[in-house]
A = this chain, B = another copy of it.
Amino acid sequence: MAVQKSAQPAKSVPDSTRRSEKSRRAIYDAALALVVEVGYPKTTIEGIAARAGVGKQTIYRWWSSKADVLMEAFLDLGERPLGEVKPEPYAFPDTGDVAADVKDVLRATVDQLRDPRFEAPSRALAAEGVVNEQLGRELVAKLMQPSLDLYIGRLRAAQEAGQVRPDVDPRIALEFFVSPLAQRWLQHTGPISYEYTDTLVDYALQGLAPR
């Protein structure tokens, strides 16, 4: 890591950018691997640095805690090309048909939950969030809230379009879409499939009582 800038003066900026990018990726990979192998409590900045082959100070220059490193590692994972798997959309689709749009997003979530690259680190972090309220709240704020806000926006648009009742609180309504799937995945309470998430959307919109 001790490359002397003076040795390559002309290319120093792009090289350091490349070096930084490579270090950043190595740090993310090390953090995700460690949290799976030893669990969140035993994952340390020192351990991440050693595994990534960087100095501790390199990590502290960019992040203030292991929680920060892990959360950015997750956000980065979501941005990498996923092969067959589409990343979760940053903008919620709005085709004018709220049922179709929510089904579409939930199918992408099913794909992501089944992606083996996400599975183990997601579970390790989620498990720690169950017993560590401070981390749990950070996970919600940084990793979940952006998605939940997209649901809220889409449900508000559906209310304006007359597809969702105006008296419904979108923050609670969205839980019919995300919570059953989350519980099946987190707690192993049932299988996950497109057919299942499609059914959730139909039941939630139509209601369980006869019309």
Task: Enumerate chain A interface residues (CB-CB to B < 8 A).
Answer: 39, 123-124, 126-131, 133, 136-137, 139-140, 144, 148, 155, 162-165, 168-169, 171-173, 175-176, 178-180, 182-184, 186-190, 196, 199-200, 203-211
Residues of B within 8 A of A126 (CB): 130, 187
Q: Which 8 A-B pairs have the closest CB atoms?
A: A207-B207, A175-B180, A127-B130, A136-B188, A179-B179, A179-B180, A179-B183, A127-B127
How many Å lie between the Cα of A127 and that of B124 in the bound state? 9
Residues of B within 8 Å of A127, CB to CB, are: 127-128, 130-131
Q: How many copies does the complex hold?
A: 2
Q: Which residue of B lies closest to A124 (CB)?
A: B131
Least CB distance from A89 to B in Å reads 20
What's the least CB distance linking A190 to chain B, in Å?
8
Cβ-defined partner of A176 (8 Å) among B39, B162, B208: B208
List, in ascending order, chain B residues with CB within 8 A of A196's CB: 172
B188 touching A129, Cβ below 8 Å: yes
Partner of A182 from B133, B139, B173, B179 at Cβ < 8 Å: B179
With a cutoff of 8 Å between Cβ atoms, the chain B residues found around residue A203 in the complex are 168, 172-173, 176, 204, 207
Residue of B nearest to A136 (CB): B188
**Contact status B189-A140, CB under 8 Å:** yes
Given the complex of chains A and B, what is the CA–CA distance between A173 and B129 in angstroms?
A: 27
Contact A200 B172 (CB under 8 A): yes
Residue contacts A-B, CB under 8 angstroms, 25 given: A126-B187, A127-B130, A130-B187, A140-B189, A155-B208, A163-B210, A165-B210, A168-B203, A172-B199, A172-B200, A173-B203, A176-B176, A176-B180, A179-B179, A179-B183, A182-B183, A183-B183, A183-B186, A204-B208, A205-B207, A206-B207, A206-B209, A207-B208, A207-B209, A207-B211
